[in-house]
């Protein structure tokens, strides 16, 4: 294993310290328990948005704390969910009295820990559970679809509504709506190594790809030989379209997300390939996002997310945001 690290034990702490120092105009990092808040207190009457999850997916979620998005983020250890004491401490710090909305990715550990935090919390709170990964079959016999890159879209859009005075109930409803309107699927060419483990999470051949991979390198639909980018992109989009069923002339957000080890050059190439296919189907790309937002450490891979847009969603997507990882309109 080659990684920039001094010791596995200090990996997260040092990374958080660097993040906090580099973006001290936007965020403030708190330790033991670990959580990240905006540098400014929550406006009175504004619903506080708190997300969190295992570390290793940066910039999600710490990099999405700031004006127009999250009020706080709770980073767990690498690929391990945060714990209720983190959520409770974060809530105490950012709840202005208007309530707390937890945004949680559908992974068992995250769900259980956020649920315990919600049970222990005194004030009003709601949760939005994201489950946009179409690679996994959603049935009563599985844990259900995973929450992946569309979580970024949910946080942006609901963040804007909260900033504009949306109530806890309205924020929860909009979060559920964005999640329902989104579908994602990813593919990985290489594995990733959790610092404490010291070796790759899974084995994959030089000519192989994991199709439908999760954001911790969990297996997806199948193991395939690597194909051309256009073929891979077509297959990802077909799987998403089958689930999301966008209609001709429907407006969508096309989000090409890197998993940490894929250069932007390739992500833009994927974007071009995706546009080719969506153009053929007369699906209108009205908003775009390309970059590393929901990563899996150094994994070489990418995911595509489509979100069906309407006037309300476009308005909140376009509104100003000022975080370490996303910044526009300011």
Partner 1 sequence: MSVDFLIETAKKIQVVINDNSSEIEKLDQEIGDGDHIFNVQRGIKLVIELEPSIKDLIMSKALNQIAMKVLSGIGGSSGALFGTLFMTMAKGNAIDEGVDYKKAIEIFAEGVEAVKQRGKANVGEKTMMDVLIPVSNCLKKGVEDDKDLKEILKEAIEVAEKGMFSTKDLLATKGRASFLGERAKGHIDPGARSSQLMIKTVCESVINS
With CB under 8 A as the contact rule, the residue among 85, 138, 176, 251 that binds partner 1 is 85
With CB under 8 A as the contact rule, the residue among 20, 63, 68, 82 that binds partner 1 is 82
The two tokens of residue 179 are 């999640």
Which segment (61-69, 80-88, 95-103, 322-330) binds partner 1 by CB under 8 A?
80-88
Q: Which of 266, 309, 26, 10 is nearest to 174 (CA)?
A: 309
Q: Applying CB under 8 A, what is the total number of residues that bind partner 1?
A: 38
With CB under 8 A as the contact rule, the residue among 6, 142, 228, 265 that binds partner 1 is 142
- 30 belongs to the binding site for partner 1 (CB under 8 A): no
- 76 belongs to the binding site for partner 1 (CB under 8 A): yes
User: Nearest approach, Cβ of 196 to partner 1 (angstroms)?
Assistant: 5
Give the C-alpha separation, 74 to 97, whole Å.
20
| Cα 258-234-279 angle, rounded to 5 deg | 100
Give the C-alpha separation, 330 to 327, whole Å.
7
DSSP assignment string, 113-125: HHHHHHHH--S-E
Q: Which of 205, 301, 211 is nearest to 256 (CA)?
A: 301
With CB under 8 A as the contact rule, the residue among 1, 5, 197, 264 that binds partner 1 is 197
Contacts of 21 (CB under 8 A, 6+ apart): none
- Report residue 163: phi and psi, to 5°: -65, -35
- Which residues on neighbouring strands pair with residue 28, listed in sequence order? 37
Task: Return the number of the residue (22 or 197) whose C-beta is nearest partner 1.
Answer: 197
* CA 316, chain centre distance (Å): 17
Q: Which residues are catalytic?
A: 57, 216
With CB under 8 A as the contact rule, the residue among 15, 80, 292, 323 that binds partner 1 is 80
Give the C-alpha separation, 299 to 310, whole Å.
33
Task: Return the number of the residue (82 or 246) whose C-beta is nearest partner 1.
Answer: 82
Which segment (57-65, 212-220, 273-281, 318-326) binds partner 1 by CB under 8 A?
212-220
With CB under 8 A as the contact rule, the residue among 63, 159, 217, 258 that binds partner 1 is 217
Give the C-alpha separation, 217 to 23, whole Å.
29
- 219 belongs to the binding site for partner 1 (CB under 8 A): yes
User: Nearest approach, Cβ of 306 to partner 1 (angstroms)?
Assistant: 21
Interface with partner 1 by CB under 8 A: which residues? 33, 54, 76-86, 107-109, 112-113, 115-116, 135-137, 141-143, 146, 194, 196-197, 201-202, 214, 216-220
């Amino acid at each position: 294993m080659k990684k920039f690290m001094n010791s596995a034990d200090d990996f997260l702490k040092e990374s958080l310290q660097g993040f906090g120092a580099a973006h001290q105009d936007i965020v403030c990092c708190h330790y033991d328990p670990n959580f990240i808040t905006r540098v400014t207190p929550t406006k009175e009457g504004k619903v506080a948005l708190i997300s969190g999850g295992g570390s290793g997916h940066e910039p999600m979620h710490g990099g999405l704390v700031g004006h127009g998005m999250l009020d706080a983020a709770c980073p767990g250890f690498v690929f391990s969910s945060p714990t209720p004491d983190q959520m409770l401490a974060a809530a105490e710090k950012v709840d202005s009295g208007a309530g707390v909305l937890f945004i949680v990715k559908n992974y068992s550990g995250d769900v259980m820990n956020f649920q315990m935090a919600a049970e222990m919390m005194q004030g009003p709170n709601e949760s939005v559970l994201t489950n946009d990964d179409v690679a996994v079959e959603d049935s009563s016999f599985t844990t259900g679809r995973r929450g992946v890159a569309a979580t970024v879209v949910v946080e942006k859009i609901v963040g804007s509504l909260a900033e504009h005075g949306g109530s806890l109930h309205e924020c929860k409803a909009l979060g559920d709506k964005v999640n329902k309107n989104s579908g994602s699927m990813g593919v990985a060419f290489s594995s990733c190594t959790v610092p404490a483990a010291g070796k790759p999470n899974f084995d994959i051949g030089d000519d192989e790809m994991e199709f439908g991979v999760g954001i911790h390198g969990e297996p997806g639909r199948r193991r395939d030989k690597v194909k051309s980018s256009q073929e891979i992109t077509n297959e990802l989009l077909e799987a998403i379209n089958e689930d999301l069923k966008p209609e001709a002339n429907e407006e969508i957000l096309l989000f090409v997300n890197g998993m940490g080890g894929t250069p932007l050059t390739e992500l833009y190439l994927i974007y071009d390939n995706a546009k080719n296919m969506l153009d053929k189907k007369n699906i209108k790309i009205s908003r775009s996002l390309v970059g590393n937002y929901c990563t899996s450490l150094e994994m070489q891979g990418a995911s595509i997310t489509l979100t069906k847009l309407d006037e309300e969603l476009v308005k909140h997507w376009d509104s100003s945001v000022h975080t370490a990882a996303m910044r526009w309109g300011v």
